């Protein structure tokens, strides 16, 4: 997809922090601040948390999202500057990402549907480890995983929580998902799996009454789940903009070499 040369109508969104709010005021005075519904591009001012929220808010709009770092963690953000913003937007490189769809069935049989840009994760809710059965494309791959939990991460999310639990870093354009255990007890040496992004993952909770488990899609949590289904939602494409030389592809590649 070719990035448009001009973004005349810019919508700014900002986190509640004083730093982000000051940036919002400054940029709105310079460039105006359109309603996101009629804007050509949405510019998010904050950290990665705000970027994820902005992507969720505009997931189905097709509008490009450009972040500038005015928060704590800024892996998904560009450097902040008030200078020549429209020119920066016009020269930005575009990364296309697809979210995960989580369909979680709880103890009452209620089905909860949420999307995740980074990962879908299952966690134990009590002091006892979770017991989980894993199926891929409706074929059993692990009859029992005893662990604090397990997650399925997108390439965009592979450098987030997935990396902190020793999961692999995936290039942004890789047609893969990372399945990574969280403090696996049995099988103790299992380090996870790389799955095609066409995979249909089912995780069943064993002994759910005794060993309750929660499922989380980014920031949406469902407690006391019994079955969680995960797949890449190709019906949704989100457009992220990055300055030349600082694309998401480049950032993820640099992460693999530890800098």
Strands 64-69 and 238-242: parallel
Phi, psi of 91 (to 5 degrees): -90, -5
What's the token pair of residue 244? 């030349």
Quick check: 115 and 126 in contact, CB under 8 A? no
Helix (H, G, I), strand (E, B) or coil at 51: helix
Q: Is 137 a catalytic residue?
A: no
Options 48, 137, 224, 233, the catalytic residue: 48
CA atoms within 13 A on the CB side of 180: 25
Q: Could you tell me the CA-to-CA distances from 75 to 24, 160, 250 in Å, in that order?
A: 20, 9, 11
Q: Could you tell me the CA-to-CA distances from 125 to 213, 219, 224, 250 in Å, in that order?
A: 5, 16, 8, 37
Helix (H) or strand (E) holding 89: helix 85-91
Q: What whole-number distance in Å separates Cα of residue 109 and Cα of residue 105? A: 6
Query: Active-site positions?
Result: 48
């Amino acid at each position: 997809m070719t990035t448009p040369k001009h973004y005349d109508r810019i919508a700014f969104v900002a986190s509640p922090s004083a730093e982000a709010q000051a940036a919002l005021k400054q940029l709105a005075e310079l460039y105006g601040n359109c309603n996101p519904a009629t804007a050509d591009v949405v510019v998010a001012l904050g950290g990665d948390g705000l970027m994820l929220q902005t992507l969720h808010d505009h997931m189905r709009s097709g509008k490009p999202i450009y972040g500038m770092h005015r928060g704590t963690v800024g892996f998904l953000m560009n450097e902040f500057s008030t200078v020549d913003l429209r020119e920066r937007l016009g020269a930005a490189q575009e990364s296309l990402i697809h979210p995960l769809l989580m369909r979680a069935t709880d103890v009452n049989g209620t089905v909860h549907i949420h999307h995740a840009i980074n990962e879908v994760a299952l966690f134990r809710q009590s002091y006892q480890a979770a017991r989980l059965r894993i199926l891929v494309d409706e074929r059993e791959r692990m009859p029992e995983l005893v662990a604090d939990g397990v997650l399925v991460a997108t390439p965009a999310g592979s450098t987030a929580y997935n990396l902190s639990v020793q999961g692999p870093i995936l290039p942004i354009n890789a047609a893969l998902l990372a399945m990574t255990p969280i403090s696996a007890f049995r099988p103790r040496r299992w380090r996870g799996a790389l799955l095609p992004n066409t995979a249909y993952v089912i995780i069943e909770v064993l002994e759910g009454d005794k060993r309750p488990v929660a499922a989380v899609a980014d920031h949406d949590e469902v407690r006391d789940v019994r079955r969680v289904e995960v797949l890449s939602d190709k019906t949704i494409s989100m457009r992220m903009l990055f300055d030349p030389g600082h694309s998401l592809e480049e950032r993820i590649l640099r992460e693999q070499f530890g800098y």
